[in-house]
Amino acid sequence: MNAHNAAFETAEYDRRIAKTRAAMAHAGLDAIFVTDPSNQAWLTGYDGWSFYVHQGVILTMEGEPIWWGRYMDMMGGRRTCWMQHENIVGYGDHFVQSTEIHPMQDLAERLKERGLERARIGVEMENYYYSAKAHATLVEELPEAVLHDATALVNWQRLVKSEAEIGFIRKAARISEKVIRTAIDRADVGVRKNDLVADIMHAGITGIGDDWGDYPAIVPLTPSGLDATAAHLTWDGAPMRAGEATFFELSGCYRRYHAPLCRTVFLGTPSDEMRRTEAAQIEGIAAGLEAARAGNRTCDIANAFMAVMGKHGIERSGRMGYAIGLSYPPDWGERTASIRSEDQTVLEPGMTFHFMPALWMEDWGLETTETILIPQNGPAQPLCDIERKLFVKN
């Protein structure tokens, strides 16, 4: 292996590349260019906060992948990628945020050098990191190539985790337990929300023993009261107040692998309605976990939860979870299989999901969730060990 910082052994990367090439062959592609930082890391080990400029991985049907990015980030590639140095290449800073030239012009030359000027090349068109300008420039610079939409081609190869990956997710889960416990213990009337979040982030980054914490792909989501009727609010400097629920949507992160976990704290005495909803939600989660078995489908998990909600007269629609694992901002989901009634993805051993049947009501929100592993036999295994309940602090 080229760099001592690479997260896995070379054999693990070989496995991933073989899976991806099989998918490429099935799609009739000669090469792919992937810009999703998670896919870059999964194929090469590259790990750096450089995804605000154009970068990506070129993978053909032979040889090592090529990491391509800004010249100064090429040095980070040499520190984190497993490939030989000649397969880690960079473009000059005169391309960066220029209105006259574009980095994709450099990429096009790299592709031509490798005989790909007339190739069928897959690109991730529905991706945070691949702009309309980037695509237009690449089309202009490679007039004889055929660019195909290969969005999520690599993502779907990541769905079933290796034992090494599951080991990393289990370490992330221990950190998730720590950050959730910190949130529950620290939450109290008068505590400023930003101070609470500072404690949460400190707990996550310090990690557990030698298992240091990385930055999660999503910042702590910690809304209270009416703010908790919305799904994705963060924090402010206001003190926590009696009579309000606060949900904590958090995740530990180890070597870029996540194990999201949500719990809710109420300061004071919750209403009877909230207590009834709590009981229904916990019953529904148990039903969903029972349905989350190898051979069943992701929709079976959602439908099992929804059946319980219907029995209790609670309205709930939309997605209730998603595949998780390796990720970078702005999302810790893998953007593949979803836990929802429309999704027919067949569950396989080694898949990991954030089962997230949160409930956002008219006046408050209640988030109780689990990161789950699909085992060879039996129902899903929650990977975190935090009591599944509404935490009440009087």
Residue 137 near residue 145, CB atoms below 8 Å: no
Q: How far apart are CA 324 and CA 124, in angstroms?
A: 19
Q: How far apart are CA 73 and CA 66, in angstroms?
A: 14
Residue 87 near residue 17, CB atoms below 8 Å: no
Phi, psi of 286 (to 5 degrees): -60, -40
Q: Which residues in 327-363 are b (16+ Cβ under 10 Å) and which e?
A: bbeeebbbbbbbbbbebebebeebbbbbbbbbbbeee
Residue from 1, 7, 375, 337 nearest 168 by CA: 7
Phi, psi of 60 (to 5 degrees): -110, -170
Q: How far apart are CA 167 and CA 325, in angstroms?
A: 11
Helix boundaries (H) for 292-330: 298-311
Q: How far apart are CA 250 and CA 258, in angstroms?
A: 10
Q: How far apart are CA 125 and CA 148, in angstroms?
A: 9
What domains sit in the chain, N to C, each tagged with a CATH number?
A: 10-157 (3.40.350.10), 163-393 (3.90.230.10)
Structure token digits, residue 144: 């004889």
pLDDT digits (tens, 9 = 90+) for 203-228: 999 999 999 999 999 999 999 999 99
- Taking 90 as the threshold, does the pLDDT of residue 149 lie above it? yes
pLDDT at 5: 75
In the chain, pLDDT over 70 holds for what percent of residues?
A: 99
pLDDT digits (tens, 9 = 90+) for 171-211: 999 999 999 999 999 999 999 999 999 999 999 999 999 99
Q: Which pairing describes strands 120-123 and 31-34: parallel, antiparallel, or unpaired?
A: parallel
Rounded mean pLDDT of the chain? 97
| pTM of the predicted model as reported, rounded to 2 decimal places | 0.96
Residue 352 near residue 384, CB atoms below 8 Å: no
pLDDT digits (tens, 9 = 90+) for 51-93: 999 999 999 999 999 999 999 999 999 999 999 999 999 999 9
Q: How far apart are CA 17 and CA 9, in angstroms?
A: 13
pLDDT digits (tens, 9 = 90+) for 338-363: 999 999 999 999 999 999 999 999 99
Q: How far apart are CA 170 and CA 188, in angstroms?
A: 29
pLDDT at 27: 98
- Taking 70 as the threshold, does the pLDDT of residue 4 lie above it? no
